[in-house]
A and B are shown apart, each in its own frame.
Chain A
Amino acid sequence: MEKNIEAITAKYRGDATRLMDILIDIQDELGCLTPATVARIAGVLGIPQVDVEQTVSFYHFFAREPRGRFAVYLNDSVVANFYGRAEVAAAFEIAAGCRFGEVSADGLLGLFHTACIGMSDQEPAALINGQVFPRLTPDKARALVAGMRAGKTIEELKGDKYGDGQNSHPLVRALVKNHIRQRGPTVFSDYTPGIALAKVTAMTSAEVIAAVKSASVRGRGGAGFPTGMKWEFARRAPGDVKYIFCNADEGEPGTFKDRVILTERPQMVFEGMAIAAYAVGADHGILYVRNEYRYLRAYLEQVLAVLRAQNLLGERIGGQAGFDFDISIQFGAGAYVCGEESALIESAEGKRGEPRDRPPFPVEKGYLQRPTVVNNVETLCSAVQVVLKGAEWYNRMGTEQSKGTKVLCVSGDCDQPGIYEVEWGFAVNDILAMAKARDVQAVQVGGPSGACIGPDEFGRVLAYEDLATGGSFIIIGRHRDILRDVVLNFARFFREESCGSCVPCRALTGMAQVVLERIIAGQGTAEDVARLQAWQKIMRNNRCGLGQTALNPIVTTIRNFRPLYEARLSRGDPRFVPSFDLPAAVRDYEAAVANG
């Protein structure tokens, strides 16, 4: 163990800002990060144990105890549950002989819950030792456990029915399918790497920024900040060392576009980063990818190597003196909040993913306190196409305030879940028809941090000025119990994923779940519903977007589906003190009786 820790730490030159990489590699070697391992890492790095501990204990995929030879992380998202996740989970438990959160007695496998893993178009899905096992059934779960018992390797368990496109690439070999249902003109049109960069190097950096500005490219992560302006701020910020980050930490439940883009268009993403680097004057880029997509690592590294060999990365790119830019890949370790740009930067510095106070903004003081641009995967693709085809071409697509296209991730109750690249401005109804959805009760637009809307709003359009979305589009059928199957799942999600820094977010996410559970159990009152709504005002003063939107699943359903709440309210005397919880009061008694 000792040797491994020292060797891995040395590989990162003992640099504590590389703690994420160090921890991921050490966990790969040792299986988990015990207190003794944490103490040893701290000793080798020369930093306090508590500082290592705060990073280790923040991320979902860092384990403190052995997880078995096969660590099974079964997705517990809303869509996974729509598609029979409970039955798959039960089959795993019976076959393994242990419950979720435990390791089987023989140490063969451990079962763990995990939040949305970016496979909403092929649920239920699990990550087993980092490999994706999509479209699971109870039979498949039983077969997997039997295979583990029979001594199969992870590759043997996977078999060879690899997915389409680059999912079958020798360095990927994933069972994942792309499900690209609609190819649009930006990301999924024909593309040859290098042409855009050649054009860019013939321009000045100011001209590149002007082009992106006149195309009105806006951030595709959901917030919609003007990209050209971001680049300009970073370019003007004083300092010789600047960074370009690509945010591929898509954690918004129901989103999976970055998975498909990184599988099919990684060159375009990297070229977009190089263009941004040229515009800003940066010489280093970091692609921050969520841990769930680690199965793409060898492939992405190879794509980078090829780009270097083609002189599209590295020194004197395109023969241009002074244009040096290279990209490294940083993996996360399971934290939704790291999708927030300043939390992402903190994480890349080896720390817990806690959003920073602003100002200063990352464009002034970002990664290692240097000016840093953080752009979404899809945003960078847009920039490449704007360079190739011009702002005028781009501006012909979309709406008044939302130019270009958007990659939508459609999932849930429909026949054709998958990727749809469409112009901004499509109505919800249009998308429902494309995805062949019937009997739709609601659509969750923009994921849990967005809004849950009903049929009376299906005429609304997807655009920054109407229904903004980072891509998540979850269709909820007539037969679903929205409060139990959707809202409660999202409430739990936010409680789990809060970084815990701001008081309202840390506490109210949990308190809201408590009140919601009471309502679902038929013990809530009208006062409880009013209280949940009132808490939204408090949440608005949280530091980051997660905290500000964490109650959206609840308040948007109260607004749009109030009868669902009212039908569940306690029918007793309204003057009755509702806080007495009978099931909770007799829980110990029930447990004692149940245990004989």
Chain B
Amino acid sequence: MASFVRFTLDGRACLAEEGAQLVAAAKECGVYIPTLCNYPGIPPKGACRICTVLVNGIPQTACTTKVVEDMAVVTRTPELEEFRKAVVEILFAEGNHLCPSCERSGNCELQALAYRYRVTVPHFPYLFPKRDVEAWHPKLVKDHNRCIQCKRCIRGIHNAEGKAIFAFGKRGDKVVINIDPETSKNISDELAQRAMDICPVGAILRKGKGFDTPIGRRKYDHQPIGSEVQA
């Protein structure tokens, strides 16, 4: 049987399974910690930093933090909220995000976070990078304009032999996610669908698949992201 540990979340005493991921444990306790690069079931990689919380007073990403006994976690301070909003704004200014023409609009986690944090005009200079749309693949389209380099696809999608299909290329602000021409060659429709689903934005699209739900009736069109956990 799993053993439970006591910890505090924003001053409130909580219980979690020992070693549980802080994001998941907080969710269990009704506290929403925003995430972007985190995805349940795949190894975390504190890349987007939006889940930064104070653990015993020290900023740490909640996705890479495991709950231990007596841990004191603060998830909401004006500084943390300001930081999270900044991360969302930076991502909008860094890539080319034209929401009204994006297939993912309404189901996009980045867009949903922008609504949640009431982003209007980004306070960061738009970089308008020159990026490609990669459509050579038989099953997938990779629109690099929309990619936020969260690495979910890199960490979560492997072919039948367990080999990588996606990987980072280059570094710094030139970083790009590449698709392997060999390992991705014969992927199933299910895996292509999972690659699209795992992407928080509209950077990975499955070819030959229409969109069932019209804009206006999609997941985040009515309910803010995270509202199922905490208002």
Binds A, one of B133-141, B159-167, B194-202: B159-167
Which chain A residues lie closer than 8 Å to B170 at the CB level? 57-58, 500
B173 within 8 A of A: yes
Least Cβ–Cβ distance between B165 and chain A, in angstroms: 7
Q: Determine whether B12 belongs to the interface, using a CB cutoff of 8 Å to chain A.
A: no
Which A residue's beta carbon lies closest to that of B52? A541
B79 within 8 A of A: yes
Indicate if the CB atoms of B48 and A511 lie closer than 8 Å. Answer: no
Proximity string of chain A (43-70) to chain B, C-beta cutoff 8 Å, 1 when within and 0 when not = 0000111110110011000000000000
Binding stretch for chain B, among A209-217, A413-421, A448-456, A491-499: A491-499
Selected contact of B174 from candidates A335, A500, A501, A538, CB within 8 Å:
A500
Within 8 A of A (CB), among B73-113: 79, 83, 86-87, 90-91, 93-94
* B40 contacts A by Cβ under 8 Å: no
Name the residue of chain A whose CB is nearest to the CB of B91: A503
With beta carbons under 8 angstroms apart, the residue of A499, A508, A537 that contacts B90 is A508
Q: Is B231 an interface residue (CB 8 A)?
A: no
Given contacts A503-B90, A511-B93, A511-B127, contact A54 B181 (CB under 8 A): no
Q: Is the CB of B167 within 8 A of A498?
A: no
Q: A48 and B183: CB pair below 8 A?
A: yes
Chain B residue numbers with a CB within 8 Å of A537 are 79, 83
Q: By the criterion CB–CB under 8 Å, are A542 and B149 in contact? A: no
A residues within 8 A CB of B45?
Answer: 357, 501
Interface range on chain B (Cβ under 8 Å from partner): 35 or more
Chain A residues whose C-beta falls within 8 Å of the C-beta of B226 in the assembled complex: none
Most central of A47, A357, A504, A541 by chain B CB within 10 Å: A541
Query: Main SS of the interface on chain A?
Result: helix
Report if A507 contacts B (CB, 8 A). Answer: yes
CA–CA, A542 and B61, complex, Å: 10
Q: How far is the CB of B178 from chain A (nearest CB, A)?
A: 5
Does B224 touch A at the CB level, under 8 Å?
no
Report the minimal beta-carbon distance from B176 to chain A, rounded to whole angstroms.
Answer: 9
CB distance from A546 to the nearest CB of B (A): 10
Cβ A507 vs Cβ B180 within 8 A: no
Q: Which residues of B contact A511 (CB under 8 A)?
A: 90, 93, 124-125, 127
Cβ contact within 8 Å between B169 and A503 = no
Q: What's the minimum C-beta distance from B185 to chain A, rounded to whole angstroms?
A: 11
In the complex the two chains form, what is the Cα distance from A206 to B123 in whole Å? 55
Q: How far is the CB of A313 from chain B (nearest CB, A)?
A: 35
Within 8 A of B (CB), among A503-536: 503-504, 506-511, 514-515, 531
| A540 CB within 8 Å of chain B | yes
Collect the chain A residues with CB atoms within 8 Å of residue B183's CB: 48-50
Instruction: Tell whether, in the assembled complex, residue A357 and residue B64 are in contact, meaning their CB atoms are under 8 Å apart.
Output: yes
Q: Which residues in A have their C-beta under 8 angstroms from that of B164?
A: 47-48, 50-51
- Decide: B52 and A53 in contact? CB cutoff 8 A: no
Q: Does A502 contact B (CB under 8 A)?
A: yes
Given A51-B164, A503-B48, check contact A57 B169 (CB 8 Å).
yes
Knowing A503-B91, A506-B149, the reply to whether A515 touches B125 (Cβ < 8 A) is yes
A515: shortest Cβ distance to chain B, in Å? 7
- Tell me which of B44, B64, B94 contacts A506 (CB under 8 A): B94
B210 interface residue, CB < 8 Å from A?
no
Q: Is A543 an interface residue (CB 8 A)?
A: yes
Does A352 belong to the interface (CB within 8 Å)?
yes
CB–CB A50/B178 < 8 A: yes
Which chain A positions have C-beta within 8 A of B163? 47-48
B residues in contact with A500, CB < 8 Å: 149, 168, 170-175
Q: Choose one: B59, B123, B167, B172; the contact of A496 (CB below 8 Å).
A: B172
Whether the pair A514, B125 counts as a contact (CB closer than 8 A) is yes
Chain A 306-343: CB-based contact to B (< 8 A → 1; otherwise 0): 00000000000000000000000000000100000000
- A511–B173 Cα gap in the complex (Å)? 10
Chain A residues, CB < 8 A from B123: 531
Complex CA distance for A335 and B183, rounded to whole angstroms:
28
> What are the residues of chain A within 8 A of B165 when measuring CB–CB?
48, 50
B146 part of interface (Cβ distance < 8 Å):
no
Is A538 within 8 A of B180, CB to CB? no
B46, CB-defined interface residue at 8 Å: yes
Can you list 25 pairs linking A and B with CB atoms under 8 Å apart? A47-B163, A47-B164, A48-B163, A50-B167, A51-B167, A357-B44, A357-B45, A498-B172, A498-B173, A499-B172, A500-B149, A500-B168, A500-B174, A500-B175, A501-B175, A503-B47, A504-B49, A504-B86, A506-B172, A506-B175, A507-B127, A508-B90, A510-B172, A538-B83, A538-B86
Q: Which residues of B contact A (CB under 8 A)?
A: 44-50, 52, 59, 61, 64, 79, 83, 86-87, 90-91, 93-94, 123-125, 127, 148-149, 151, 163-175, 178-183
What 9 pairs between A and B have smallest CB-CB spacing? A500-B175, A50-B167, A50-B180, A357-B64, A498-B172, A507-B94, A48-B180, A510-B173, A54-B167
